[in-house]
Amino acid sequence: MDFSNRRCGECSNKGFTLVKIHGIWDRPWRDFPSVYLTEDFHVWRCNHCQAEASEAGSGAEADIAIERSLRNQTSQFLEVIKGRTGLSYEEIAKRIGISAPYLSNLRTEKKTPSFSIWNMLKMSAKHPEILKEVLDPNYDIEAANILLRRA
């Protein structure tokens, strides 16, 4: 359907263009403040003020693209983490604070993580030493000098 002549609620002008979104999509979704789309998705964008608009029913399609992106990213983060740390998936699960079966579902893209889990895995993929050292349950937090006060 062609919505190019619809009105923008932000600037009241008419005129939209269907644009492809890939990469950072700066709007909230569930507990994510913004999402990174690795699947192409198209949105209607105002020709005047760049605000986005959508028709009823497009939300479900947006959700599919977002969930596919997040699940694929999460699965890849886990693969990178395993490769870079040498830890087993069970140990990774333990250090992140999730169950092994849940991690398996994340690895096989059956579940979508929360923002905090996704963010933790993203950070660990980028800095595997954090997962290997800091998130080791035996990590000496006093020796690490990250407490403001000693008991």
Partner 1 sequence: MPKFSLEEVKKLVQGALSGDRGKVWFSGKSRSIDYVIYVFHCSEAEAEKTILQGLLSLTEYDFSQTIILSPPPDLVLADEYGLENFMGHNWYIKLLIEEDGSDRFLTSISFHPVERLLMLPDQRRLEVTLEKSKQPPKKNTTPRK
Enumerate binding residues for partner 1 (CB under 8 A).
1, 3, 5-12, 26-31, 46-60, 62-63, 66
Q: What is each CA distance from 110 to 87, 91, 138, in whole angstroms?
A: 22, 20, 31
The answer to whether residues 130 and 93 touch, using CB atoms and an 8 Å cutoff, is no
CA separation for the pair 95, 132 (Å, rounded): 9
Question: Nearest distance from residue 95's CB to partner 1, in Å?
Answer: 26
Bridge partners of residue 23, in order along the sequence? 37
Question: Nearest distance from residue 92's CB to partner 1, in Å?
Answer: 26
Bridge partners of residue 25, in order along the sequence? 35
Kindly tell me which of 63 and 133 has the beta carbon lying closer to partner 1.
Answer: 63
Kindly tell me which of 66 and 81 has the beta carbon lying closer to partner 1.
Answer: 66
Kindly tell me which of 30 and 127 has the beta carbon lying closer to partner 1.
Answer: 30
Question: Nearest distance from residue 91's CB to partner 1, in Å?
Answer: 30
Kindly tell me which of 47 and 88 has the beta carbon lying closer to partner 1.
Answer: 47
Question: Nearest distance from residue 73's CB to partner 1, in Å?
Answer: 17
Cβ neighbors of 73 (< 8 A, separation 6 or more) are 36, 38, 118, 122
CA separation for the pair 99, 107 (Å, rounded): 12
